[in-house]
Structure 1
Amino acid sequence: MGDWLQVALIKKREHSLRTILLSYVVSLTVLSVISSLLILYLFSLSFRFGVLIPANQVESDLSAVRSDIETSKVFNPEILPDGTSYVFLTRDFKLKKSNMPVNLQEESLLNYQFKNAHGEKYGYFQSFERSDGIVIVNYQLSPRYRNEWMNQHFPNADLMMIGSMFVSILIIFIILTFYYANKLSQQLKPILRVTEKISQQDLDFQTSQSTIKEFNQVLSGLDHMRIALRESLMENWKAEQDKQNQISALTHDLKTPLTVARGNAELLAMTSLDENQTDLLEHFQKGIAQVDTYVKELSELNKMSLKKTLTLEEVPAKEFVEDIYDQTLSLAQTKQINVVFDKKEIAKESIGNWDKSLLNRAIMNIVSNAVVHTPSGSQLLLTARIEEDEFKFICLDSGPGFSLESLENATQLFYQEDKSRQSRNHSGLGLTIANDIIRLHYGSLSLANDNGTGGAKVTIILPLLNTDDS
């Protein structure tokens, strides 16, 4: 009941992106109009309280002093309103007095003679007829500040009003844009949270809801995908578990007949046998030993699949390499193989964060395989390097190398590379086990044939512990 009520409440306050966009446009328009009207009102108050002078104030002031200008015995420029300039001419148009620039004086005369000769390019003119001459006054029809300092240093009052409107609308636009962007960002968080959890394969969570209709549709689709992916992973996990249980059962069941066969072979060896029977018994015992080795390897591989965890510790790379070298020498002595180990550049301070036991098993699987395929009396080359916080190990044998098919499939379960190596005395598990262990250490294993000798070349790269961060 509670979940149903919550969903109903979300549905009630759910909006579409179109509604939100329309709300943004309407809010921007309404607030812009309000701010513009407010600025107009403030400017209106400025006129009322005398901070600004109306555009037609000059004409009104000129009308008020017209009689004084035309009838006074001596023309006094001080009676002219602020914001005006004048030229005082004789009746034959000779200059008597002026505070106008020369070009404006000429324009004033033209305007007097030809009435609005150049339109309003130079502003407006009024002429006053006196007995001793003509006074022509120039002025602009635009609002002005009452304070002269403001007229000199501030923009024109009209420009100030338009500029104030533009700035206010720009500020409103920025604030609204940030507000709605933040609002959408908050509504996007559930989607980002879901995608992050799915990418981490954390599928046991409840999908939250948004107040935006389109976002909820995306969340619904992601939730369906989460459920489907979870079911698929569970099915795969169950299939993997079933397979591992079958392998465990198989390896367990094989131990009993192997024990019986080994015991019978040992009893048979104690009897009197001719040369042919002895030879057959020897092959029989080798076959039993080989099958026993396969069962043990298969059991180890299954245990690794069941438990994908490592017991990590700080392992000195130099010490680890020396141990590998000692084990390789012991293996190589059985076939009089000459082991060349290039390991001089391993510094004592190089530390790996490894499972030493598992990693030793992986590398010795590689080395053992190389010893098997290296002809007696030939050379086995091992190289260990530290390159850019990585441990690099290379094993190069003197055998026939990998076939093209082997290069692609040698690390697959039970693959036997019988085309180039000419042998089936292995289960195909050695490289598989080694590759799984290397991958658990976030490393890589690659196979190749040496360009010079043609021998099989196995390269292992493992990350080292960054001692600066530890």
Structure 2
Amino acid sequence: MGKKSIMRMLLTLSISQICYMFIVVIMFGLGVFFLGETEIIISPNVISQNVEIIKEKSLDNTLDEMDIPAYIEYAKLSNSGNYINGSIQDEELIQEVCEKGKINQLRFMNRTTYELIGNSSEKWVLGYKSATSQFSNDFLRSIFPSADLTIISCFLITVITGFLVILKVYRNRLSKELNKITNIQNTILSDDREISELSSPLKEVNDILIILSEMEKTVKESTKKQLKQAQLLENSIQSLTHDIQTPATVVFGNLELLEETSMDIKQKEYVKYAQDGISKISEYVEELKTLAKLEQSKTEYVHFDEKYVDNLISLANQIACLKNITISIIQKDLTDDLLIEPKDIQKAFQNIVSNAVGFSEKSSQIKLQFIKNKSEYVVSVIDNGKGFSKESLEKATQKFYSENKARSGSHYGLGLSIVDKIMNEHNGFIQIENLEVDNTIIGAKVSLVFPLK
């Protein structure tokens, strides 16, 4: 069976609407004809004919109240013009008709004609609508003053409702086919479904699905290669760190043994330098291990609730106490609109707090902020150190970048790079800035910015 184009579907939609319109016109035409023939609806011609008959009877003095249909108002007057009885009881209206002989009034978009008729012995005031059809039933006529407007309104409502139903049917059909494209992401990421299994009766959509089927094969092959490369990288890093850690441990142990021998002050100083160097190598290896672990899939996610934020504050206090630095909390907002991998975020937070402690004076203060805005959640660490240089502000998150001018100290070029990678995995980013007063740097502020979606 051949595929239909979207243009053909739109053409079918148009034809369906035209056919529906034709059917509705025929049905309403037959309905109006039936209502007219059964006198459920009185046409303007019939009303005019009855008015003429009533006028003739009034002139012949043979008019009786029973001769006047219910859809024609009347008032019976004496020869002197006094009101006797009738359905018209508005005295001012009757007086105006007697003075002018005939008047027209517009009520509810319907024109009503009031006319004085009769002979020398009796007079009548008739009120009738000769410009629109009327319902013969009193109840229907009281609700719908104009049968024409009622029929036209029903016709328009029926046409519009039918058009909307037809549009909804075709819209659902089109949406069903287009959803096959919009849901492609889940299909590509799923291991047990193939895009090639999807097809559409619409030619354009089916062509897109065929293209995406080819793309799927390429993407999945590329993903397998990337997973394989990531596994090789992890294995290589583990092997490398093991190869580095083993001789480093041996060297550190020999340096401890060397300390037990008799050495002069200069030799002890050299041994201390060597031990510091080995410690740095060990820390560098741990950073590499952390970077490798970030490539692994995450299974546990938590919110920034009070327990987790308190754990981060406690971690900051543990790091800060090494230099007798005080941790103060400026703002502590919580959020349940954000899911994070707790260990990774803790590592990122630990890195920026460690940097802040490292570049702050002893017995100083570091400030923490946990701020929830409408569109983002921000965790900030503020220190009173020397701040970042212009070059460092631009390159601080680059892997293996080390800056010794503004921020001297132990720095391996991986700390903020790891933080940046963690934040990217959480669709966020790291923000680095200097705090200035009168163009003088008084500290630095590093923030973890998470979008709230």
Q: Specify every segment of 5 or more residues in structure 2 that has no aligned partner in the other structure, as ranges.
A: 75-80, 87-92, 103-110, 120-125
2: CA distance between counterparts of 1:301 and 1:397? 28
Q: Specify every segment of 5 or more residues in structure 1 that has no aligned partner in the other structure, as ranges.
A: 1-8, 86-94, 110-120, 131-136, 333-337, 464-470
Aligned to 2:240: 250
Greater share of residues in strand: 2
**CA distance 1:311–1:296, shift in 2 (3 Å):** farther
1: CA distance between counterparts of 2:191 and 2:287? 32
Please say if 1:205 is aligned against 2:190: no
Aligned to 1:37: 26
Counterparts of 1:51-450 in structure 2, within 5 Å, are 51-52=40-41, 75-78=61-64, 154-195=144-185, 201-202=189-190, 205-207=193-195, 208-258=198-248, 278=267, 281-282=270-271, 285-286=274-275, 288-290=277-279, 292-309=281-298, 315=307, 317-318=309-310, 321-322=313-314, 324-329=316-321, 331-332=322-323, 339-343=325-329, 362-374=348-360, 378-385=362-369, 387-388=371-372, 392=379, 394-398=381-385, 400-422=386-408, 425-434=410-419, 445-450=430-435
Preserved CA contact (<8 Å) 1:40 1:161: no
SS of corresponding position for 1:341: strand
Please say if 1:17 is aligned against 2:9: no
Q: Show CA shifts across 1:201-227 (max 9, x none).
A: 557633333333333334344444444
1: CA distance between counterparts of 2:73 and 2:246? 122
Which amino acid counterpart does residue 11 of structure 2 have in structure 1? L
Which amino acid counterpart does residue 168 of structure 1 have in structure 2? T
TM-score by length of 2: 0.65
**CA distance 1:403–1:40, shift in 2 (3 Å):** same
Q: Show CA shifts across 1:39-82 (max 9, x none).
A: 32233333443445566557888999999999x7xx43459886
Shift of residue 150 of structure 1? Answer: 6.2
Shift of residue 173 of structure 1? Answer: 2.4
Shift of residue 436 of structure 1? Answer: 5.1
2: CA distance between counterparts of 1:323 and 1:300? 21
Q: Pick the structure with greater CA Rg.
A: 1
Aligned to 2:123: none
1: CA distance between counterparts of 2:326 and 2:346? 19
1: CA distance between counterparts of 2:56 and 2:342? 114
Which amino acid counterpart does residue 404 of structure 2 have in structure 1? D
2: CA distance between counterparts of 1:271 and 1:451? 52
2: CA distance between counterparts of 1:439 and 1:229? 21
> Equivalent pairs: percent with the same residue?
23
Which amino acid counterpart does residue 420 of structure 1 have in structure 2? A
Shift of residue 320 of structure 1? Answer: 5.4
**CA distance 1:77–1:328, shift in 2 (3 Å):** closer
**CA distance 1:417–1:187, shift in 2 (3 Å):** same
2: CA distance between counterparts of 1:146 and 1:437? 81
Which amino acid counterpart does residue 391 of structure 2 have in structure 1? E
SS of corresponding position for 1:454: strand
Backbone CA RMSD of aligned residues: 5.7
**CA distance 1:445–1:107, shift in 2 (3 Å):** closer
**CA distance 1:274–1:342, shift in 2 (3 Å):** closer
SS of corresponding position for 1:448: strand
Aligned to 2:436: 451
TM-score by length of 1: 0.63
2: CA distance between counterparts of 1:360 and 1:67? 103
Shift of residue 165 of structure 1? Answer: 3.5
Aligned to 1:46: 35
Q: Show CA shifts across 1:11-57 (max 9, x none).
A: x4x43222222222222222222222223223333344344556655
Shift of residue 265 of structure 1? Answer: 6.0
SS of corresponding position for 2:441: coil
Shift of residue 285 of structure 1? Answer: 2.2
Shift of residue 458 of structure 1? Answer: 4.4
2: CA distance between counterparts of 1:67 and 1:230? 95
2: CA distance between counterparts of 1:356 and 1:146? 79
